Amino acid sequence: MTTRDTKYDIVVVGAGVGGICAALAAARLRRKVLLLEESKEIGGTGVHSAVSLICSFRDKDGRPINTGIHRELFPQAYTACKGLFDAEETVPTYDEKELKRTYEHLLKAEPLLTVWTDSRVTGVRADSSSGKILDLDVVSGEGEDFAVRADFFLDATADGNLSALAGADFQMGREEDGKLQTATVTFKMIGFDPSKLQNPRFTTWSGIHSLRKELTVYYQQLKDEGGTRNPRPSVLCFPYPDGRGVLFNSTAITDVDPTSAESVAAGMREGTEQALQLASAVKRHPAFAEAEVEFIAPKLGVREGRRVIGDYMLTADDCLNARKFDDMVAACAYSLDIHDPLGGGAKLVKIGGPGYYHIPYRSLIAKGWKNLLLSSRCISGTHEAHSSYRVMSGVSAIGEAAGTAAALAIWSKADDARDVPAARIRYVLQAGGQFVEGNVEKVPLK
Ligand SMILES: Cc1cc2nc3c(=O)[nH]c(=O)nc-3n(C[C@H](O)[C@H](O)[C@H](O)COP(=O)(O)OP(=O)(O)OC[C@H]3O[C@@H](n4cnc5c(N)ncnc54)[C@H](O)[C@@H]3O)c2cc1C
């Protein structure tokens, strides 16, 4: 029987980008934090589903608007790329193994932060009349049970699993039919010969667009032969930063329900099959004749799950019209990007005005709950708005804000997350280097 410390100030459930940024932010404010992850390793989607592209984090003039922990995760994207999508600019991408090492390095540096992997939250004891979570049931991979207590709980499970266990309200899918964006199994190919490509500079935007076009010809052949069920119309791929690999984000599995283990397992089987079929088509290109699949991502890439109802629901109009909120605590510059739930490819719509929008603190607070904050892509927003802030730049800013808010709530002995003024959260975020807008309120020294 393992003896573990089971009382913390803050428990963050889920160690993807949102949970890691939340845990770092709270621990750096000297709160005692537990980060729980059900997988054997930390990293979540960005590591184990390998997504490659560092999605836009700059306004229309190229100024970064996610300058907090996101910059520590992807420093090269801030220095090497201008982010203006010029044809000859290098595509800002990352290597998932490198990202995992960065996460581990940052987490290990925090003395007040404890990480439990292989530890799944299976139940929540809550008092819904007072709107408070009391403790969590955590089951380890060895089958041991722990009751974990804290003052504040952060849902960084992406799919709102913690909130659903607590009994919080949520929505799933688009309004008309409840359908979710497609899921994807990504894979990496290496050992190809760029000199045989029409544009060998495939690490640039013009080069990667040219490569996608060339490969789509062979993919279309495969489709015409009936060699795949993949509904996507074309090939989507990205270069690895070292210029030696290509990440294919190009399989599409419809109707995956991320809240059902059976559905996720079936999606993984279908996606793996599609990945191998696509790889065989890619190898028909002379540049890829000797190429091999280096890995198939071990985790199904799920784009969308539960969206927990919060005090405010962010909408597509808010995003596209670059809406500003008095209680902004994060910002996002990425387009609305809906991967057609029926499999027909992705549709991108750019953010208007300055090219970014505010994410209000109210969207991070689960409605009716005092000590439950949302710190991953499960925040309160519509299907369309979610398609934008779900990317790692948006989610890292959401996580950092949620972790900061929880730490300040404990600092000020607040009973309810709502008692922490957004201007105070902004003050602390700004002091840590994060981009904020609006007035700031100094945190009194204790
Ligand atoms: C195929 C695909 C391609 C994408 N492409 C890009 C891209 O190019 N660029 C980009 O920026 N973004 C991209 N995204 C989006 C982005 O990667 C994710 O939305 C983002 O990483 C989600 O982060 P998160 O912290 O919200 O969730 P996750 O990283 O999914 O982390 C949630 C964690 O919670 C854990 N968890 C869940 N339930 C429990 C529980 N009960 N107990 C304990 N732990 C639990 C999970 O195991 C997981 O590790 C893509 C997504 C997909 C699926």
The DSSP annotation for 276-320 comes to HHHHHHHTTSGGGTT-EEEEE-SS-B----EEE-BSS-B-HHHHH
* Dihedral angle of Cα 429, 396, 314, 361, to the nearest 10 degrees: -30
Q: What proportion of the chain, given as a percentage, has pLDDT over 90? A: 94
- For 308, the 3-state DSSP assignment is strand
To the nearest whole number, what is the mean pLDDT of the chain? 96
pLDDT over 70, % of the chain? 98
Ligand 1 centroid – CA 157 distance (Å): 8
Q: How far apart are CA 308 and CA 218, in angstroms?
A: 41
75 CA from centroid of ligand 1 (Å): 20
Mean pLDDT of 269-281: 98
For position 443, what pLDDT does the model report?
85
Q: Residue 1 above 60 pLDDT? A: no
- Residue 107 and residue 99 in contact, taking contact as beta carbons nearer than 8 Å: no
5 — phi, psi (to 5°)?
Answer: -70, 125
Average pLDDT over residues 75-82: 84
| Per-residue pLDDT at 128 | 84
| pLDDT above 90: residue 236 | yes
Bridge partners of 171?
A: 307
Query: Confidence band (pLDDT; 50, 70, 90) for 346?
Result: confident
Helix (H, G, I), strand (E, B) or coil at 53: strand
- The CATH number assigned to the domain with range 10-173+304-431 reads 3.50.50.60
> Which of 17, 40, 51 to mutate to test ligand 1, by most ligand atoms within 8 A of the CB atom?
51
Q: Where are the alpha helices (DSSP H) in 174-260?
A: 205-224
Rounded-to-integer distance, Cα 74 and Cα 68, Å: 11
How far is the CA of 280 from the CAs of 183, 228, 291, in angstroms?
21, 11, 10
Sorting pLDDT into bands at 50, 70 and 90, what band is 355? very high
Nearest atom, ligand 1, residue 394 CA = 11
Residue 231 tokens, joined:
């509904």
- Give me ligand 1 centre to Cα 409, in Å: 26
CA-CA distance, 17 to 15, in Å (whole number)?
A: 7
Report the pLDDT value the prediction gives residue 84, as an integer from 0 to 100: 65
pLDDT of residue 324: 97
More confident residue, 396 or 86: 396
Parallel, antiparallel, or unpaired for β 237-239 and 245-248? antiparallel
**Taking the domains of the chain in order of start, what are their residue ranges?**
10-173+304-431, 187-296
83: pLDDT strictly greater than 70: no
Confidence of residue 82 (pLDDT cuts 50, 70, 90): confident
CA 8, 426, 25, 60 torsion: positive or negative?
positive
Other Cβ atoms within 10 Å of 341 Cβ, number:
20
- Identify the residues whose C-beta falls under 6 Å from ligand 1: 13-19, 36-39, 44-46, 49, 51-53, 55, 120-121, 156-158, 161, 184, 186, 249, 301-303, 376-377, 390-393, 395
Question: What local confidence, expressed as pLDDT, does residue 81 receive?
Answer: 73
CA distance 24 to 103: 10
